[in-house]
Chain A
Amino acid sequence: MLDKNGIAKRIAKEVQDGYYVNLGIGIPTLVANYVRDDIEVEFQSENGVLGMGPFPFEGEEDADIINAGKQTITTLPGASFFDSAMSFAMIRGQHVDLTILGAMEVSENGDIANWKIPGKMVKGMGGAMDLVASAENIIVAMMHTNRAGESKLLKNCSLPLTGVGCVKKIVTNMAVIEVTSKGFKLLERAPGVSVDDIKNATEGALIIEGDIPEMKL
């Protein structure tokens, strides 16, 4: 079973040379720590920066330079700033190559819910609806089950949707899963996790073909 950093590490392997990448808040933010350093990647943050660098050293923070999680950041050589309309032009116009975001639920047809729990939590969708409606390449980073131990990979989402039929790949603490027209296709298992464990933790249709290899991190 992976922890959050393990999930981020596995997703980092999906990031390719020359990619512009948008990272969501939470586990996705950690992915930047594990991207191979022999490839060129630029991180976009929807509040208006391309070419995000690491967090600043103490005392070097600037209130005018933050990421979408409102954290202070730095920029790398070649970075640029822009307004919100241009930021979403990058996203909606499919100029961003890879979007990695968290989710509360994903359904077997690729629907995603991650912005609202009616009556309990309403924080808003931020940029998530724009991201999932436009991105060709969306990876969801999340735990396989919720705090109550219930599957987050469902036949149908129970929460209000963020987008329909958009998720292509899911990396959880237990597995790597591809969303296909027939349901969740199991690609890889996390270290120490069996196919049966994954089956038991997945409510939606799970397609298992042949031997399922263990993830290489």
Chain B
Amino acid sequence: MINKKVDNISEALKGVSDNMTFMFGGFGLSGIPENAIADLVKRNIKGLTCISNNAGVDDFGLGLLLHQKQIKKMVSSYVGENDEFERQMLSGELDVELIPQGTLAERCRAAQAGFPAIYTPAGYGTEVAEGKETREFDGKMYVLEHAFKADFAFVKAWKGDAAGNLIFKGTARNFNPVMCGAAKITVAEVEELVPVGELDPNQIHIPGIFVQRIFQGEMYEKRIEQLTVRQKA
């Protein structure tokens, strides 16, 4: 067993510095690496390029980094629900690259899987495809999209072990698996770090080979963005 376990958050984030490119798992606030984000806020490093489907809300998730103006550029598919984000974008303080959600996932996966680029039909004929190479396959047009290059990927899983194996829960899985191994260093935080051997190898979503550092998160707020319930009849 190759040990990926680190003792604390500061060891987990060792090497992060200004002007780096980071990937963050999560969809909305579900499955975000809460502990890594909190530590990056504390470190107050700046000039970051962040690849993440969303940009958090005003006072949680990546919204915390935005609030301290640590982010130079966001690469996302959907950035609603965040007033500070909108303000920084409209004032030109924040550079924003909006790309289709499936393209975002596949540019991560390409980096993980060793593809330099992929062709996708998404965005063809729209401003997303402007300046990009396009090509016809079987009568349909596709856009060439390049694999991301990132320094760190911060992901959050439900359970993991010291070998770096990960299991995700529900829709908190989302972008987390495709970001594992898609950056130079993947830092996984888990709700529950279990002893090696406890996870059933048949059930593992991401094998430890894609993870360089793993730690148990201190606490998870797991904030719900849109609590929606039905009434009992």
Contacts and interface: CB of A to CB of B under 8 A. Distances in A.
A and B associate in one complex: yes
A61 interface: yes
Interface string A119-130: 000111111111
B81 to A, nearest CB: 8
Q: Size class of B's contact patch?
A: 35 or more
A125 B78 contact: yes
A122 B171 CA distance: 25
Given A88-B105, A126-B77, A160 B229 contact: no
Contact of A164 (B76, B109, B125, B223): B125
Contacts of A61: 224, 227-229
Given A61-B229, A85-B109, A124-B78, A133 B30 contact: no
B74 to A, nearest CB: 10
A13 B109 CA distance: 37
A57 B229 CA distance: 5
A98 to B, nearest CB: 18
Contacts of B228: 55, 61, 71-73
Contact of A83 (B121, B122, B174): B174
A56 interface: yes
Nearest to B110: A85
Contact of A70 (B30, B124, B172): B30
Given A85-B108, A123-B80, A130-B102, A63 B126 contact: no
Interface string B63-87: 0000000000000111111000010
Contacts of B121: 92, 133-134
A55 B230 contact: yes
Nearest to A82: B173
B134 interface: no
B23 to A, nearest CB: 12
Given A56-B229, A64-B169, A125-B100, A85 B128 contact: no
Contacts of A45: 171
Interface in B81-128: 81, 86, 89, 96, 98-106, 108-109, 120-128
Interface in A52-93: 54-58, 60-73, 81-85, 87-88, 91-92
Contacts of B106: 85, 88
Contact of A71 (B53, B100, B126, B226): B226
Contacts of B105: 83-85, 87-88
Interface of B: 27-31, 53, 76-81, 86, 89, 96, 98-106, 108-109, 120-128, 158, 168-178, 205, 222-232
Given A47-B30, A129-B102, 20 more contacts: A57-B231, A58-B231, A61-B224, A61-B227, A61-B228, A66-B225, A69-B226, A70-B29, A71-B226, A71-B228, A73-B228, A83-B178, A88-B102, A92-B120, A122-B89, A124-B77, A124-B98, A125-B101, A127-B102, A133-B122
In the A-B complex, the 10 residue pairs with the closest CB atoms:
A88-B102, A130-B102, A164-B125, A123-B80, A129-B100, A64-B170, A84-B105, A71-B228, A63-B222, A124-B78
